[in-house]
């Protein structure tokens, strides 16, 4: 039975309030309690635009807008698919987990918006351009090599550069049409040993470059990580883009680092950075900035504040997460909150083929859910989040699995397993890095409701799994998953809908709805 439209609306725009408190008066950090890493932002007039990393997801390079640097609305993506290769298609045992595209750069120059990124998976640097950042379309220019953590910069003399690299930061001039590195153009290391300002013992060399020209000076923001410290924000400045640069450590608190400087129309300044936030992922922080002697001074008494002097009526994720009743005609776009895990195979999924349902059909045989094609995902979020779905399983085949997953390398899922003529509800855990069927319960009917609750409070990072035969009475199944942010996936946990075959392709599962909530528990 479908939900009342008002109920859908309430769940679609999930509002996240601090635990135990009512409506917020002042904004707080993180401004988005979800995985929105490698933030880069610009201001055009009174509107801010931000881009972030989503790596192996499709579509990718998300574009968000805001009027206050706190409440962000997802308006689109710079690309549908980054490239078309075996890794991005999850073929022949290959995958792009933890890779895909990284650390974008967002720019606005002479009426054109630029969103650039780089990829070891494609081996290229990708630049996407549009005249309308909110509606597109985007045009791609790509070239080799892949310039790591680059910052695209248009100088006042008409020359265009990328500053990039790890440890030793290199400035490379591009062709005026951005088609590649300019032959005979400037191409030198301009900031050698960029981490030196943070001390002699470095765990992570300086990277994550973001370049701005402010009051005639060039400023380069970078992250580094001292061996016995936390992620640290450093900055370099120069009177010429080619240097020489002087350096300063500008923030070392709670691991809040990597991002950009941005100003408001009324002259205030902020740094938009992010923090490693456990299993939910890397979350954006907004840090106030003051200027002293031409240097940005970040934070309050050297600390990144948890409360901001910005009034908001509601603070949350807006449309970065969304419930979905799948009530659309065939061919209509998915809500922007959805991203496919790797490139989808559009032959084997549909909405509208059966009215009001998402149908996932198996197009091949896979050994594990991590290799399953056409897994549809959304972010988990904090402090707590819950996702539920209802699936109809009458057309699944022997060896098929379909269900709801908390997706990372150490995943957990609750779903339906078909074995011969029988069906069972199973909870599978990969907490030990090896999938284990923790519990199996016979399924006496052709439909089942599934739910996952995630608790990210105080870095608890636990996921709980449930099923219901009627959508009203819920029963815990399996074990509690101790979620862990792992570098092989390099992404916060996601909720995902999946269907994969281990024996014979061609079966399908119909998903009736997907609903998210900021409440957990029975």
CATH code of residue 506: 2.60.120.200
Whole-model pTM? Answer: 0.94
Q: Has residue 331 been placed in a domain?
A: no
Which region among 3-7, 206-210, 322-326, 451-455 has the lowest average model confidence (pLDDT)?
3-7
Q: Has residue 14 been placed in a domain?
A: no
Q: Has residue 374 been placed in a domain?
A: yes
* In the predicted structure, residue 2 carries a pLDDT above the cut 50: no
Residues 41 and 86 in one domain: yes
Residues 389 and 500 in one domain: yes
Residues 252 and 181 in one domain: yes
The gap from C-alpha 421 to its chain's centroid, in whole angstroms, comes to 40
Q: Has residue 330 been placed in a domain?
A: no
Confirm if 365 and 502 have CB atoms less than 8 A apart.
yes
CA distances from 318 to 12, 43, 63, 80, 93 (A): 8, 20, 14, 22, 36
The predicted-structure confidence for 356-381, as pLDDT tens digits, reads as follows 999 999 999 999 999 999 999 999 99
Residues 123 and 201 in one domain: yes
* In the predicted structure, residue 9 carries a pLDDT above the cut 50: no
The predicted-structure confidence for 151-168, as pLDDT tens digits, reads as follows 999 999 999 999 999 999
Confidence tier at 3 by pLDDT (50, 70, 90)? very low
Mean pLDDT of the chain: 95
Q: How far apart are CA 51 and CA 138, in angstroms?
A: 14
Show Cβ contacts of residue 10 under 8 Å, excluding neighbours closer than 6 positions.
none
Report pLDDT for 522: 74
Residues 246 and 100 in one domain: yes
Residue 29, domain CATH: 2.115.10.20
Residues 306 and 343 in one domain: no
Residues 350 and 288 in one domain: no
The predicted-structure confidence for 241-251, as pLDDT tens digits, reads as follows 999 999 999 99
Residues 293 and 348 in one domain: no
Tell me how many domains the chain contains.
2
Report pLDDT for 4: 38
- What is the span of the domain harbouring residue 37? 25-312
Residues 77 and 170 in one domain: yes
Residues 397 and 511 in one domain: yes
Residues 303 and 353 in one domain: no
Show Cβ contacts of residue 310 under 8 Å, excluding neighbours closer than 6 positions.
26, 27, 68, 69, 70, 286
Confidence tier at 507 by pLDDT (50, 70, 90)? very high
């Amino acid at each position: 039975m479908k939900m009342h439209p008002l109920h859908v609306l309430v769940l679609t725009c999930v509002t996240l309030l601090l635990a135990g408190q009512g409506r917020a008066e002042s904004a707080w950090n993180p401004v988005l309690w979800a995985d929105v890493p490698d933030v880069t932002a610009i201001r055009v007039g009174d509107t801010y635009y931000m881009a972030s990393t989503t790596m192996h997801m499709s579509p990718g390079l998300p574009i968000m807008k805001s009027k206050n640097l706190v409440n962000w609305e997802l308006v689109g993506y710079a690309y549908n698919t980054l490239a078309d290769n075996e890794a991005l298609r999850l073929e022949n045992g290959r995958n792009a987990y933890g890779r895909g595209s990284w650390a974008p750069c967002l720019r606005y120059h002479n009426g054109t918006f630029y969103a650039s990124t780089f990829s070891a998976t494609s081996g290229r640097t990708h630049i996407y351009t549009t005249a309308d950042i909110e509606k597109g379309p985007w045009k791609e220019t790509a070239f080799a090599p892949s310039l790591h953590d680059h910052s695209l910069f248009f100088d006042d003399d008409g020359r265009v550069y990328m500053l990039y690299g790890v440890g030793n930061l290199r400035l490379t001039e591009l062709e005026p049409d951005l088609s590649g590195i300019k032959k005979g153009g400037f191409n030198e290391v301009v900031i050698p040993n960029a981490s030196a300002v943070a001390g002699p013992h470095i765990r992570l060399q300086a990277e994550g470059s973001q370049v701005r020209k402010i009051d005639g000076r060039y400023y380069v923001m970078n992250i580094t990580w001292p061996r016995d410290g936390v992620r640290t924000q450093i900055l370099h400045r120069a009177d010429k883009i080619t240097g020489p640069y002087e350096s300063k450590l500008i923030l070392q608190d709670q691991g809040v680092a990597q991002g950009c400087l941005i100003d408001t129309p009324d002259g205030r300044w902020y740094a938009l950075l992010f923090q490693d936030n456990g299993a939910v992922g890397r979350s954006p922080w907004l840090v106030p900035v003051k200027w002293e002697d031409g240097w940005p001074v970040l934070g309050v008494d050297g600390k990144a504040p948890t409360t901001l002097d910005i009034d908001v009526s509601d603070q949350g994720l807006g449309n970065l997460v969304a419930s979905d009743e799948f009530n659309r005609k065939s061919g209509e776009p998915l809500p922007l909150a959805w991203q496919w895990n790797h490139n989808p195979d559009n032959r084997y999924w549909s909405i509208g083929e059966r009215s009001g349902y998402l149908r996932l059909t198996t197009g091949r045989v896979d050994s594990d859910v991590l290799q399953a094609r056409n897994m549809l995902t959304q972010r988990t979020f904090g402090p707590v989040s819950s996702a539920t779905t209802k699936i109809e399983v009458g057309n699944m085949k022997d060896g098929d699995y379909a269900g709801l997953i908390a997706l990372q390398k150490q995943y957990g899922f609750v779903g339906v397993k078909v074995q011969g003529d029988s069906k069972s509800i199973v909870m599978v855990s990969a907490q030990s890095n090896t999938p284990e069927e923790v519990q199996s319960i016979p399924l006496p009917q052709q439909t089942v409701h599934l739910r996952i609750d995630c608790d990210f409070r105080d870095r608890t990072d636990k996921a709980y799994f449930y099923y219901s035969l009627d959508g009203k009475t819920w029963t815990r199944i399996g074990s509690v998953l101790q979620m862990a942010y792992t570098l092989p996936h390099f992404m916060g946990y996601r909720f995902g809908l999946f269907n994969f075959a281990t024996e014979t392709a061609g079966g399908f599962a119909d998903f009736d709805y997907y609903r998210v909530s900021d409440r957990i528990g029975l």
